[in-house]
Amino acid sequence: MSITFSYRRKEVVQENPAAGEFKARCPALFPIDEINAEFQHITTVPLETTFMAQLDSYLPQLTSIFNNNGGVSGQKLAKHLVNLQEVNICNPFTHATSDINLKRASVPKALCIYLGEDDGHLIREYKDIEGDDIQRDLQKSTMGVYVINKEGGEIGAHDDIGIHVEGEIILDNIGSVAQACAMMLGVIYVLNMAYPKELKYFYEFIQKVLLKMDGERLSPKSLD
């Protein structure tokens, strides 16, 4: 296994294959459990479990920070704060999972806005649109999460959640937006890609604050 891993890393680092090409050659590497395993092999950090636990841990603090942010970004944050601060009092047991998924999905979007970045570069959302049109739109960005919202469904109801890189769908049928954001970081590491410049501060926060990797070297903007 270690020989296979070493050979694979050498291939990725030295040859820098296109995402779609590498997935075609190594399809077994791209299920969620394999991305988690590969990320941990590269960094020693359990990706998804750490990401979710830390996201939940920081949720109250981040909600407070977002709530105190004024100006234009404060106005943009308002719609996400509704989800972050909302408590389901009708049936807290039935809706507990959907509520936490909605809160978790709101944090990455709000974090982008707070850091002065466009959350549309991280997550592209679609509804009532043909698959070919979605594919064409995904060509406009290097990488990110796509969400196809269920037509006529409740907030947080999705037909598909996935990850695209260089116009290729790398993962689909992901369970939640937050899980997709975690897997996006994993895919970046698996493919040895640089963080997209449009989301530099977002990924730096995820890497260094949530995952505690290289945390002593945060840029000033991520420390604000």
Listed by start position, the domains of the chain span 21-210
pLDDT for 203: 96
Residue 154 predicted with pLDDT over 50 = yes
pLDDT for 215: 57
Q: Is residue 131 packed enough to be buried (19+ CB in 10 Å), middle (13-18) or exposed (0-12)? A: exposed
Average pLDDT over the chain, rounded to whole? 86
Residue 89 pLDDT level (bands cut at 50, 70, 90): very low
Residue 182 pLDDT level (bands cut at 50, 70, 90): very high
Residue 219 predicted with pLDDT over 60 = no
Residue 180 pLDDT level (bands cut at 50, 70, 90): very high
CA atoms within 13 A on the CB side of 162: 18
Q: 32-43 vs 177-190: helix axis angle to the nearest 10? A: 50
pLDDT for 88: 44
Placement of tokens 């890393």 in the chain = 9
Residue 91 pLDDT level (bands cut at 50, 70, 90): very low
Say which residues have a Cβ less than 8 Å from residue 69's Cβ, sequence separation at least 6.
Answer: 77, 114
Say which residues have a Cβ less than 8 Å from residue 203's Cβ, sequence separation at least 6.
Answer: 185, 188, 195, 196
Q: What is the pLDDT of residues 196-209, one digit of tens each?
A: 999 999 999 999 99
Residue 214 predicted with pLDDT over 60 = yes
Q: Is the distance from CB of 212 to CB of 158 less than 8 angstroms?
A: no
Q: What is the pLDDT of residues 12-35, one digit of tens each?
A: 877 788 888 888 888 888 999 999
d(CA 140, CA 146): 12
Closest CA to 141 of 159, 127, 154, 125: 125
Q: What is the pLDDT of residues 102-148, one digit of tens each?
A: 999 999 999 999 999 999 999 999 988 887 888 889 888 899 999 99
Three-state secondary-structure class, residue 51: helix
Residue 189 predicted with pLDDT over 70 = yes
Phi (first) and psi of residue 135, to 5 degrees: -60, -40
